[in-house]
């Protein structure tokens, strides 16, 4: 008798057309292969549907037929199958697959566009945290500001692209009809401060500023690494508070570290 583990291994193989699984199935007026195909079809459709829910703008950008074709090719790959029973956690590698999927090779911006959608998906499912307001800093003496470490909201993701994704998003979201794709980079900050996920398109220096903050550097350390002379700290912080980008701050750690250095 075949062991249960072998049943399950053979089913996995059958998904890739490499198995004698149908020999285990009773057949009558309905063939074993037709019976098995119901499960294979159901799996593919569920996975395709999960991708459409995670990447709705990619579907809109390249059209349903083309996107479905890419999805079916993706989910036929062994490495693409979920390693979790929670499909909200699955699909991260779809953008990378798009970069090697031959029919879409001409759309060089597509993998990065799709990756940005994945980050939106992560932001949607991130933990809630009340954004800090400027009031949280009222008790701090101004001379301590530079020693502050500012914690970005847990839903924040930062992504720089080699392509003007802001232009492409504007078309997909029907904010403009047509575009002439510019030859430039784009810098996105994705956040869900409350219910809705928002993408902020940033200047390069602001993007660097928030990226360094996300690494846990103090305000002083961050500013020492920003070389762009046009960068306006006050303006950037004002934007950050309005957009709810900060969820916490920490003065003590950097104070004590700096204190030791000062004493030495």
Partner 1 sequence: MVNKLGNKPLVGIGLRTPHYSHVIQNKPQIGWFEIHSENFFMQEGNSLHVLDTIRQDYPLSLHGVGLSLGSTDELDKSHVQKIKSLLNRYTPFLVSEHLSWSKIDGIYFPDLLPIPYTEESFSVFARNIDYVQTILGRELLIENPSSYLEYKDSSLLEVDFLSNLCKKTGAKILLDLNNVYVSACNNDWDIKIYLDAIPPELVEEIHLAGHEFRSFEDGSTLRIDTHASQVCTEVWSLFNYSIKRGISAPTLIEWDTNIPDFEILMKEATLAQTYLNSK
DSSP 8-state code for residue 188 = E
* Residue of 185, 149, 155 lying closest to 167 (CA atoms): 185
Q: Which is nearer to partner 1, 29 or 135 (CB)?
A: 29
Shortest spacing between CB 249 and partner 1, in angstroms: 21
* Residue of 131, 136, 54, 127 lying closest to 95 (CA atoms): 54
d(CA 142, CA 125): 36
Q: Which long-range contacts (CB under 8 A, 24 or more apart) does 217-223 make?
A: 217/149, 218/146, 218/147, 218/148, 218/149, 218/254, 219/145, 219/146, 219/147, 219/148, 219/149, 219/150, 220/146, 220/147, 220/254, 223/146
* Residue of 210, 212, 204, 246 lying closest to 229 (CA atoms): 204
Shortest spacing between CB 89 and partner 1, in angstroms: 8
Q: Which is nearer to partner 1, 34 or 256 (CB)?
A: 34
Q: Which is nearer to partner 1, 34 or 232 (CB)?
A: 34
The SS3 of residue 11 is helix
Shortest spacing between CB 207 and partner 1, in angstroms: 25
Q: Which is nearer to partner 1, 32 or 107 (CB)?
A: 32
Q: Which is nearer to partner 1, 121 or 147 (CB)?
A: 121
Q: Which is nearer to partner 1, 46 or 133 (CB)?
A: 46
Shortest spacing between CB 80 and partner 1, in angstroms: 10
Distances from the Cα of 180 to the Cα of 68, 111, 176, 204, angstroms: 27, 19, 11, 21
The residue whose two tokens read 């750690």 is: 253
Shortest spacing between CB 163 and partner 1, in angstroms: 29
Residues that bind partner 1 (CB under 8 A): 1-5, 7-9, 11-12, 15, 24-26, 28-32, 34-39, 42-43, 46-47, 50, 81-89, 124-128, 192, 195
Q: Which tokens belong to 153?
A: 């909201």
Shortest spacing between CB 31 and partner 1, in angstroms: 7
Shortest spacing between CB 34 and partner 1, in angstroms: 5
What phi and psi, each to the nearest 5 degrees, are found at residue 127?
A: -60, 150
Q: Which is nearer to partner 1, 154 or 203 (CB)?
A: 154
């Amino acid at each position: 008798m075949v062991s249960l583990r072998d049943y399950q291994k053979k089913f996995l193989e059958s998904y890739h057309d490499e198995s004698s699984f149908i020999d285990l199935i009773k057949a009558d007026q309905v063939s074993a292969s037709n019976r098995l195909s119901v499960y294979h079809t159901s799996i593919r459709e569920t996975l395709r549907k999960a991708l459409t829910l995670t990447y709705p703008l990619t579907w809109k950008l390249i059209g349903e037929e083309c996107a479905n074709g890419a999805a079916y090719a993706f989910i036929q790959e062994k490495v693409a199958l979920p390693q979790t029973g929670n499909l909200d956690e699955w699909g991260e590698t779809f953008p990378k697959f798009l970069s090697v999927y031959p029919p879409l090779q001409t759309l060089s911006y597509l993998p990065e566009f799709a990756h940005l959608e994945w980050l939106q998906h992560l932001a949607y499912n991130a933990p809630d945290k009340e954004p800090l307001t400027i009031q949280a800093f009222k008790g701090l003496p101004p001379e301590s500001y530079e020693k502050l470490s500012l914690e970005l909201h847990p839903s924040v993701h930062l992504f720089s692209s080699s392509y003007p994704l802001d232009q492409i998003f504007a078309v997909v979201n029907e904010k403009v009809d047509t575009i002439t794709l510019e030859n430039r980079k784009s810098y996105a900050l994705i956040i869900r401060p409350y219910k809705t996920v928002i993408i902020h398109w940033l200047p390069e220096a602001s993007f660097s500023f928030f990226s360094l903050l996300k690494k846990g550097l103090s305000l002083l350390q961050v500013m020492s690494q920003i070389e762009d002379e046009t960068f306006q700290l006050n303006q950037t912080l004002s934007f950050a508070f309005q957009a709810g980008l900060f969820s916490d701050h920490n003065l003590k750690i950097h104070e004590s570290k700096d204190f030791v250095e000062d004493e030495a």
